[in-house]
Structure 1
Amino acid sequence: MRLPPLPADQWDEQVQRALSGLLPRDRQNPADAGNALSTLVRHPDLTKAYLSLGVHLLFRSTLPARVRELAILRVAHRRGCAYEWAHHVEMAHESGVSAADIAAAQGGPPTDEFDRVIFTATDELDTTANLSDSTWAALGAHLDERQCMDLVFTVGGYGMLAMAFNTFGVEVEHTER
């Protein structure tokens, strides 16, 4: 771990303001915010700026939740981000993603043709920072213009987040369930 979560005695109003767009006041503490946010708040201004985009991608995106989660899982797998993977597998299940679909995000065969398009788009964006004309057209057969834009930003935003989590050494929380 290169950057540990910010210790509780250093959580101040600036840290709480940085988290206010995502977490209710009672969760704005190291125990309830989780390791990722507790690490990011070491830089409150950056956290607040990034969370503005993050809130859109996670809660206000025009993408169907299932599509969003498949793209995020593919990014997490490609980037080797254990933290992102662990948290989004759970969210994917809640969004109707099956165990077979999750396995496909790790390189297995997709069970659905549109899933294949999502994985191809994610792979292209991650590899070349661009989409081929054929992939753009395939996306357009299933998604409208805003959804396509949200997909590009989802892949880019979660790719950046995976880079940060991996670099900082953010550890997956081990909780009893």
Structure 2
Amino acid sequence: MRLPPLPADQWDEATQQALSAMRGADTNNALSTFAHHPALAKAFLRFNVHLLMASTLPARLRELAILRVAHRRDCAYEWTHHVDLAKDEGITDDEIAAVPCFAGEGAGHFDDFERTVLTGVDELVDKSELSDQTWAALGERLNDQQRMDFVFTVGCYTLLAMAFNTFGIQLEHVAQER
């Protein structure tokens, strides 16, 4: 762990205000790590809350995309936290298990459009761009705002995976065991 979570009893008023964007969220290792930089936390969390709460992207597609990002970026923290959110959106355990191998043996768990969404994640992660074919295929069910929210969701959670992995943010149950 390079940047340990800052205990809540050490948060000043600016930190509490910065983290208030995640109202109702349990204090976790990610938020407690963001507490080291209140101004950045405030700016970032406002954007992140939009993607989680106000995005035009259907929640099921959002969570499939985030799980794929977490897998591609080898981010256990992001994966673990979004498995529960995915289940809340009706994504089954079998579908979750298939996200890492959606193009191979897991292909049968997703419809053609969901496979396009997962392919789009891979294109954005690999090339920082959607192909014309994927952009058009996404446009068969998503409007321009939804496609924009998709791109920003993948980008945001790629950034989060980089931060979580770099800072060494640990799962709460792992941190408690130490």
Q: Output the CA distance in 2 between the equivalents of 1:115 and 1:103.
A: 15
Residue 147 (structure 1) aligns with: 146
Q: Report deviation, 1:11.
A: 0.7
With normalisation by structure 1, the TM-score equals: 0.91
Residue 5 (structure 1) aligns with: 5
Counterpart selection for 1:90 from 81, 84, 89: 84
For residues 68-107 of structure 1, the aligned pairs below 5 Å read: 68-107=62-101
Q: Report deviation, 1:105.
A: 1.3
Aligned length: 170
For residues 107-122 of structure 1, the aligned pairs below 5 Å read: 107-108=101-102, 109-110=106-107, 111=109, 112-122=111-121
Residue 137 (structure 2) aligns with: 138
Q: Report deviation, 1:19.
A: 1.0
With normalisation by structure 2, the TM-score equals: 0.91
For residues 15-34 of structure 1, the aligned pairs below 5 Å read: 15-24=15-24, 32-34=26-28
Q: Output the CA distance in 1 between the equivalents of 2:45 and 2:101.
A: 29
Q: Sequence identity of aligned pairs in percent? A: 60
Give 5+ residue unaligned stretches, structure 2.
none
Structure 1 93/9 Cα, relative in aligned 2: closer, same or farther at 3 Å?
A: closer
Residue 126 (structure 2) aligns with: 127
Give 5+ residue unaligned stretches, structure 1.
none
Q: Output the CA distance in 2 between the equivalents of 1:23 and 1:5.
A: 18
Q: Output the CA distance in 2 between the equivalents of 1:100 and 1:9.
A: 40
Q: Report deviation, 1:57.
A: 0.5
Residue 35 (structure 2) aligns with: 41
Residue deviations 1:52-104 (CA, integer Å, cap 9, x gap): 11000000000111000000000000001111000100100010111222122
What do you get for the CA RMSD once the two structures are aligned? 1.6
Letter in 1 for 2:78: E
Residue 67 (structure 1) aligns with: 61
Q: Output the CA distance in 2 between the equivalents of 1:37 and 1:21.
A: 11
